[in-house]
Structure formats: structure tokens, C-alpha cells
Amino acid sequence: MLRPAQLLLMLGLPLISPAAIPPVDETQVNDLLARMTQAEKIGQLSQGVINTPEEVAAASLLVREGRRGSFILSASAEQAATFRNQLQKVALEQSRLRVPLIFGYDAIHGYRTTFPIPLGLAAAWDAALVERAQAVSARETRAAGIDWTFAPMCDLARDPRWGRVAETFGEDPYLGARLAAASVRGFQGDNPAAPDRVAATLKHYVGYSATVGGRDYNATDVTPFSLRNAHLPAFQAGVAAGALSVMSGFNATDGIPAVADHHALTNILRGEWGFNGFVVSDWTSVEEAIAWGYAADRAAAARLALTAGNDMEMVSTTFEETLPAQLARGDLSPALLDEAVRRVLRGKLRAGVFAQPYTDPAALDRVALAPDALATAREAAARSIVLLKNNGTLPLAATARRIALIGPLADDAGEMLGTWPGHGRPGDVVTLAAALRQRLPASTRLDVEFGCELLETGPRTRALTDGSIVSDPAAEVDAAKAKKRWSSALAAARRADVIIAAVGEPRGWSGENASRAELDLTGRQSGLLAALAATGKPLVVVVFSGRPLVLTNVAAQSQALLQAWHPGLQGGPALAALLYGDQEPTGRLPISFPRANGQVPIYYNHAMTGRPTMVDYRDLTRAPLFPFGFGLGYTEFTYGAAEISTPPDGPAVARTIITNTGKRPGQTVAQFYVRDVACSVGARPVQELRGWETLTLAPGESRTVSFPLDSAALGFTDRQGRWLVEPGDFQVWIAPHAGTGTPLPYRLEKAL
């Protein structure tokens, strides 16, 4: 059985020190538990939500009676700390046992300092950078009065129709596991109770992303072998890194809702991995076991969830309303209830709410948008942007005297924030237009034109000052205004030396409950790009989106193409630096980009087939437009032929020499892939990432990279959770992305 510590070693990650998860005073836990009434115990397992003063007043009554132990604190940044202190005061001064509350929030990629969406962060292929970004998020989140973040998302992204791919780290289990562990370290540090750290939550456990048709909240169908080798590794890495909590998913796999999946929540999570934190449901998902057709009624939903190992119920109230009667009838064991309460109390102690129940309402103002936070946000944005095409137009030359920046996302601050932006504000964002105005030489003129709407029909949306998205029926598209904008944009394009088009999808079209059937540019943006390309001027396209879009025509029409995701507060300066060559493009795709909608789901690490040369479509190749791991820079790299050597005192090593053959310094990400040619317990994928190394080389400089062919590289997990390394034939690659490289044969003579 692969234990969490072994997994971290195999991933090349540092082990968590004993001090990382503070010891819990079990005497205190047991003393509290012994003095609790049944209602107070159930209250510790019940989570509410507060946004307004009226909700705080109503919640105070429940807290006073010990009927709520936790709240989602989704109030504005200005009110959050005050609301927390008001409710905490009730808990500590008016409730019978004085048990403090714990407050959670979805700080996914920042609180006030908004970073690139997680899919963008993953494109940096830099676990240390992800850790630093999440540490900034933790500092601001804790200052706002929140102890506990519902992140990182550990789901595997294989279908870009699913809107929540934006919150994932991409399609690869190894990359996802490395970044999930880094996120936990960033959020929790060495002590999740520290004043600049928060408790982390691994979500959504498990298989939520395998939703049928890419439709959110849908059924999932995950085989045991895929569960072990594709969907569980990131969660296991997060557990090994010390995450204090896990969130069960919205999905149902094989007909069993994740919130009631005893095998996943108890046998694997706690039995195999030794997880000793607590599990919280997703929003009303306990009650939704009825809608799935698994639970007959609210009582059954509560009983099945608690029995499976789901400790806390988010928002819905089936625990509160039905557990007392079930316990009285003997349908549930009191010991089961007690153990769930113990887990929650331990979580509160580890998160520091007993030691520091209140927060300073002025704390957030002191730490929000600090210089180091903005510098990290800018670095993360720059490192996340992927150069997908360049015929030499980039970097922009100082000789370009007139630039036309055209598109609905050229100067839209709110759209840069992306999905789940925390409390990032449009006023904090530096847009591409604003950044270019600051960066351009004095002799260069910048014309900024809107061009067309992101959405051409129906009411638009707009961002409020707190970053939330609301419908704005008053902003219906005016036909006369739209025609004038279009004409003005084309006129600016004809006058320009270079055109930069800023296009993509609305941020409200990615994230939760934002599935898409078509992955093309929204509105009339495709037509706008075609018109801009028809001018014959060099066209640089910057795409802002929360998922891979179908960019086949965009790539064909443009001279240069960059994928900028939704980059956060500092996306504009990061892009300006890349466009002018002040910084090298270093991003690499963490997810494949399809050529057509009909190709999805599409991912590089797919299973073998019996007829591997006969799997193309009649009308299209099976290959993606841009493969996993792909990304260009402003120089060229040559990867030499790989070779394998076997030292006398260690495992065999695959190595190659990489040379910068261009004229500029640059960075490449050497990616190490493995294929097990024959696996006795089930065919493994055609390729699997098992390591990478980032190299920065001067022109003409060469360096050797090497990767051990050890247990971590060659092994897999069987259906029972055992880590196996079978002797036999393998293929290995060292390549700049998953779509290239020559496989090198290797034979392992005996099991490791």
C-alpha cells in the first residue's frame, strides 16, 4: 500500500515535518464531547452561510443554542471580520459550552490580490510559485477573519466543456499532484493556526470532473483503475502534505453520490491513507442524495452521508432535522456521531480558532495588495501565459509606430479576475490597455477600440466593485452602437503597423455551473478576427479564457497567438512585458487544446486501443491543435537523442543534452514521459508524465538533464491501492511537450 509519505517522496516533494500539523489535546476534545448534548454535537456538524447583517442576526440565535459550529463567510471584505467577531462573541459568551466557530470561504486563487485562475497557475509548471501565490492568498484570507479555504481543487480536467476546468491544475495526475501539495503548503505553511495561514480543503472528492458530457453536477463514470491512477493522486498528495479537510463532491459515481461513498471516504481516505482531518460536504449535496435516487428521504440522506464518513453538512439541514430521531430509534450509533464531532473539534484546534477566536477588523487593510503580493501576482501572470504561435512578429519591435489594440477584453478590468475571484476588485486590475500605455515608447501611438461585445444577444453581465458578477439588462447591445464600434475598430486596424486583438470568453462562462457545448469564441469575435486578418496587417491575438477554446481558425489567421487565461490583477503588465520581449514567454499548457468541438474529451494520457493506427475521425485527425506541455519562447531549443545508463549503485537513468540554438536567452521545460508496454492488471496510458525540469540557457549553452528510471517513474497503483512496479518493457521520452519526441526502449529485468 502506498502511504502518503511514500507518495511525497515519489513526487519529489518535501516531507511535512512533525510540527506542520499541530498536536491536538485529545483531553480537551474528549472533555468537550463528554459535556455536549446531542443537539450541540449535531450543531458542530452543521454549517450555515452569512452575507448580510440580517443573516448574522438570525445565525446568532442558532449559535447561542449551540446549533451551528461553522459558517461560510461570503460577506464583503469590509464586513467579513465584523460579522465573524459578532458571531464569535455569541459563541464564546452566550452559548453553553463556549466552543468557537470556524469560518470558511472559497479563496481559490486569491482574496484581494487575485492571481491567475488555477489552470493558469498550472501553466507555469512551478510548484514553488504556486506555493508562494497561495501563501499570499492565505495571508489576506486570514486577515479578513477566515480560518479555512475551500481549496485547492484536486479534480482532473479532461473535458474542457466542463466549466470548472478553470479551477483545476489540468489534465495530468502527476502535475496535478505536485501542485495540489504545493497549494496545501502555501495555505497552511508549517502551522495552519499561524496568523498568516488558513486550513486547506481538498475538493471535490472524488471523480467530480469526469462528468458525463461536461455538464456540471452530472453523473460520473470512473473505473477503479482510472480512479486509482488518474483521479486520486492529487488528493493523496494533498493528504500527504497535511491538508486539514476534504470536501466531498457533487457527483455520483456508479450511482453512489460522493457524499455517501463509504469506500472512498472511509476505506480509502481514512483507512488506506490515514487521513485524520474532517470531511465537509459541498453546498446542499447531502440533501441532493435524494435527487440522485440514492436516498429515499432526508433522514436516509443524512444517515448515509454520516455513515459513509462525511462529517459536516454544508448549508442543507438534514443532520439537524433527522439525526435526533434516528439516534433515538437506534438507526445510527452514537459513537458514529461522536467520532465525526471529534474530527471537527480537532480541525478547529489545528486551525487555531480556540487560541485566536477573534480577528482585527483593520488587519486586511494592512496586508491587502502588499508590494510582495502584487509582485508575485505579476510573476504568476507572466509565467502562466503560453505563446502558442509566433512567426517572428513577437517580440514587438520599437519600429512599430502605431499599434491598434482591439477587442472586448482590451480594457475590461472585471473580466481579468476570472471565476471565483475572491474579493478582487476591477479597480485593482491593470488591464492590457493600461499596461501598454505605460510601456510603449513615446514615439508609438496606441489606438484602443472595443470592436464588438463578448456576447451579442441578450443581457450582458457586469462586475460589481466586490468582484461579483450580476446580470445587467440595461446593457443590451445597441445595434447602431455595435456597428459604429465595428467600423471604428477596422479603421484603426488599417492605420496600424501591428494589430493586437484581445478576445476570449466571459469570465462568467467558466467556473461552476458554466458548462459549454461549443468551445468557440463567443459573440461576433470570430468575425472580428477575420475582418482584422483581412487588413493584411500583422495580427497578434491574446486569448483570455477559463478553459481551452477551439482556436483552429484563430491560429490560422494570426501571426502570433498567446493564451493568457484569466490572469488576475497583474495580467496587463505581464502581457506588456511579454509582447515587447522584456520577459521571455515560459508558460506550458497543462491541458490539451482541441482542433474541433467534436474531439472532446481530449487528453494526451489516453488509453491504448486494439487498433492504435485506426482511431482518427473520417474528417479530422485525432491530434490536438496544441498538445499538453506545449509552449513557445523567443529562442529555439534542440533536444539531443536520449540514452539510458545503468550506474552500479542506483536505478537506471534516462538523459539527454538540451541546447539553446537561438539568439536569445530562454527557458525550456524538459518533460519526462513513460509508457508501460504491457501491464498485467490493466493497460496503462500511451504516455504518462513522471517528471520535469526547467532549464534557463544562454544562446549556445547546453545542459544535460536526467531522470531516474526508479519505482516512482515506472510504477502504478492497482485496483486495491497497492503500488506495483512490474518487470518488462517500457518506453521513455524526454521532450518539450507530449506531442513530440522519439520513444526510447528500456527493459526492467526485475520488479523494484
In tens, the pLDDT along 699-716 reads 999 999 999 999 999 999
Residues 571, 573, 579, 585: what is their CA dihedral angle, to the nearest 10 degrees? -60
pLDDT value of position 478: 80
Where are the CATH 3.40.50.1700 domain residues in the chain? 386-586
DSSP state of 607: B
**pLDDT averaged per 10 residues, the chain (length 752):** 55 48 87 98 98 97 98 95 98 98 98 98 98 98 98 98 98 98 97 97 98 95 96 97 97 96 98 97 98 98 98 98 98 98 98 97 97 98 98 92 98 98 97 97 95 76 53 65 95 98 97 97 97 98 98 98 98 98 98 98 94 88 97 98 91 97 98 96 94 98 98 96 96 98 95 82
In 108-157, beta strands by DSSP E = 148-149
Tell me the pTM. Answer: 0.96
pLDDT value of position 649: 85
Pick the CATH number of 386-586 from 3.90.700.10, 3.30.56.10, 3.40.50.1700, 3.40.50.2000: 3.40.50.1700
Q: Which CATH class is domain 637-748?
A: mainly beta
pLDDT value of position 15: 46
Contact present, 724 and 237 (Cβ < 8 Å) = no
Rounded CA-CA distance 358/371 in Å is 26
Chain segment 528-546, per-residue pLDDT in tens: 999 999 999 999 999 999 9
pLDDT value of position 23: 81
C-alpha dihedral sign at 410, 414, 416, 419:
negative
Strands 102-105 and 148-149: parallel
C-alpha dihedral sign at 660, 662, 666, 667:
negative
Active site residues: 282
Where are the CATH 3.20.20.300 domain residues in the chain? 4-14+104-352
Rounded CA-CA distance 181/458 in Å is 42
Assign domain 4-14+104-352 to its CATH architecture. Answer: Alpha-Beta Barrel (3.20)
